[in-house]
Amino acid sequence: MSKTFVVATDLSPRADRAVQRAFRLAAWVQARLILVSVIDEDLPDPVAHQLRDAAELRLAQFAASIPYSGEVNHDTQVVLGDPAEAIPALAEQADADLLILGLHRPRAYLDLLRETTMERIVRLSARPVLLVRDPVDHAYGRVLAALDFAPASTAALSLAAEIAPEAEIFGVHALHVPYRGLLAPRGSAGTTAPFRHAAEALLADWRAAGRLPAALKTVEIAEGAAHMVLNAQLDRVKPDLLALGAHGRAGAAPTLLGSLANDMMRAPPCDVLIAR
């Protein structure tokens, strides 16, 4: 079935990488691509409509200048609204398989006090989101997938394999041992063996439950907190794409993201793919 990708841009230089990556991926998987830009709806009507007309022309010219644009079925849309609401709504309306975003403009003080527009878009979107950080001078070659064997991380892994068909994929599962310091001294494995055996059983069931990407080389089970384990694997694997699932806290609103996804958005180590 034909896929649809949506890429959002504010037509600033920092958004160029997201658009370039979107065209590259769309050409690879033969997806339809929608480029969207949002004009602030709070502006006076004459100003907003003048900006929209200018943005439509600039967006079309920008799309035509991108490599691979001639190979991709694409169109452009400029809408009035709040970007954090309009972009997820458009992705939903288009039944998008992937929403592609660039990184936000760093604002050291404000970023400590509130969500960035990028974070709000990811939080409000039910669609998988690709955050593009790195230059688009190569196809993805190494993917690191953070796995908890739940549907969200499995979906992120599967989508990563689709958009990075030439990449090696490495999986990592963080093994949380409660009250680790009380169970046994550091380096003693005997008392923690039941937790590892349980994780290995989960991994075996997960492998048996469905078709996994052939490019998935290994799944390492590493003891420690999720952030610590993931950062260690990032240093070791040096991926150009990180795939992870986003989870809200139990009983919380479905728009909440897990802390790991939030932290990776704040300071992405590479391009990041987030799926619910």
Where in the chain are all domains bearing CATH 3.40.50.620? Answer: 4-132, 142-275
Residue 78 DSSP symbol: E
Res. 14: pLDDT tops 90: no
| CATH no. for 4-132 | 3.40.50.620
pLDDT grade for 240, boundaries at 50, 70 and 90: very high
Lowest mean pLDDT among 98-102, 134-138, 174-178: 174-178
Q: What is the dihedral sign for C-alpha 261, 271, 144, 208?
A: positive
Interstrand relation of 241-245 and 271-275 (parallel, antiparallel or unpaired): parallel
pLDDT of residue 48: 84
Lowest mean pLDDT among 6-10, 14-18, 120-124, 257-261: 257-261
36: burial class by Cβ within 10 Å (0-12, 13-18, 19+)?
buried
What CA–CA distance (Å, rounded) separates 269 from 235? 10
**Cβ neighbours around 26 below 10 Å, total:** 26
Overall size of the chain counted in residues = 276
Q: Collapse the DSSP code of 258 into the 3-class scheme (helix H, G, I; strand E, B; otherwise coil) and give the result.
A: coil
Structure tokens at 91: 């992705």
Query: CA 148, 152, 158: angle at the middle one, nearest 5?
Result: 95
Q: What is the pLDDT of residues 171-210, one digit of tens each?
A: 999 998 875 555 555 555 556 788 889 999 999 999 998 7
Longest CA–CA separation in the chain, Å: 72
What CA–CA distance (Å, rounded) separates 179 from 201? 21
pLDDT of residue 179: 58
Average pLDDT on 129-138 reads 93
Q: Collapse the DSSP code of 90 into the 3-class scheme (helix H, G, I; strand E, B; otherwise coil) and give the result.
A: helix
Res. 13: pLDDT tops 70: yes
What CA–CA distance (Å, rounded) separates 225 from 221? 12
| CATH no. for 142-275 | 3.40.50.620
pTM greater than the 0.85 cutoff: yes
